[in-house]
Amino acid sequence: MPPARPLSLVTGASAGIGATFARALAARGHDLALTARRSERLETLAAELRQQHASTVTVLPADLADPAAPAALCEELARRGLAVDWLINNAGYGVPGGFVASDWHTHAEFLQVLLAAPVELAWRLLPGMRERGYGRIVNVASLAGHVPGTAGHTLYAPAKAFLIKFSQGLALESRGCGVHVCALCPGFTYSEFHDVTGTRALMNKLPGFMWQRADEVVAEGMEAVERGEAVHVTGRVNRAIKSMFKLMPDRLAFRLSARQARRYRQLD
C-alpha cells in the first residue's frame, strides 16, 4: 500500500512535462522533491503547489549534466530523511544539427542527462522502494525511440530507445516487489522543448493533430504506471504511428522516416 502522502522526485521540473507531473502529483496528495537547473522557476512552482495543494515541496536545484549530481541529490534527500516513492525521470533536451556539428563535450553532457542520470537515480532509489514494498518509476522516453533514427538530433532517438529497453528490464526485475516501472513515450508535445533547441519554426509546420498537451501526456503516464504497463505510447495518433512502422519492412520504414524528418529536423 502507498504511504498516506507519497513523496515524488521529479527531474526537469522547472517547465513542460516535468512541471505538469509535479502539479498532477500534488493534486493527488503527494509531497514533492523538485530538481532542475533553474532554481527560480522551481521556487515559483513550489510556492504554487504549497498554496494550492498544501504539499510539502523540497526544492533541490541540480545540473544532471554533472556526473556527481545524482549521488549528491540522493544523499541530500537521505540527509533530510526523505524517502522517494515516485521517481519521474523527466529531465532531457535535444541537441539539434548534425552529429559532428557539436563538440564532444556537448554530446557527453547530453548522454549524462538522458542516460546516465536516470539510470543512476533508479539504481540509488529502487532498493528503498523494494524494501518498503511500494514504488513507481516513470522514465520519460519518446515515440522517437520506437521509429528509425533520423539525421539531426542524432543521439535523441537512440537515447530514448535505451530508456524503453531499460524500463522493460527493470519492470520485469521489480515484479512482485510492489514497484512499477514505465517508459512513457509521448510524441510531439506542447512545451518549451523546441524553443530551447531552436526548432520552433520547423515544428510549427506540423499539423495540429500531431500534438498533445502536457497534461494529456502526464495523465496517461500516471494511469499507465499504476496499471503496471512497462511501456506506454501516448495518444491514438502516436500509437498508430508506432504500429505502422512496426509492420513496415525495415527499408521502407527507414526511407519514410528519413523523408519526413526533413520537415522538422535541423540537419546541419
Helices (H) and strands (E) in the chain, counts: 11, 9
pLDDT tens-digit readout, 109-134: 999 999 999 999 999 999 999 999 99
Give the CA distances from residue 257 to residues 30, 121, 142, 248, 265, in Å, rounded to whole numbers and listed in that order: 40, 33, 15, 11, 11
Q: How far apart are CA 104 and CA 242, in angstroms?
A: 31
Looking at the predicted structure, is the pLDDT value of residue 249 above 90? Answer: no
pLDDT cut 90: percent of the chain above it: 75
Of 180 and 201, more confident: 180
CATH topology of domain 7-261: Rossmann fold (3.40.50)
pLDDT number for residue 257: 76
Q: Which residue has the higher pLDDT, 18 or 150?
A: 18
Listed residue (142, 119, 139, 117) closest to 65, CA to CA: 117
Report, in this order, helix, strand and coil percent for the chain, each rounded to 5. Answer: 55, 15, 35
Q: What is the DSSP letter of 137?
A: E
What are the pLDDT digits (tens) for 31-62?
Answer: 999 999 999 999 999 999 999 999 999 999 99
- pLDDT for the residue numbered 250: 85
- Cα separations in angstroms, 47 against 42, 52, 59, 87, 240: 9, 9, 10, 21, 39
d(C-alpha 157, C-alpha 102), whole Å: 17
Of 88-92, 149-153, 190-194, minimum mean pLDDT range:
190-194
Kindly report, residue by residue over 137-189, the tens digit of the pLDDT. Answer: 999 999 999 998 888 888 999 999 999 999 999 999 999 999 999 999 998 88
User: Is 184 in contact with 167 (CB distance < 8 Å)?
Assistant: no
Residues 6+ apart with CB under 8 A from 107: 95, 99, 155
- Cβ-contact 36, 91 below 8 angstroms: yes
Residue reference for cell 511500494: 134
Where in the sequence numbering do the catalytic residues fall? 156
Rounded mean pLDDT of the chain?
A: 91
Residue 258: pLDDT band (50, 70, 90) is confident
Q: Report domain extents, the chain.
A: 7-261
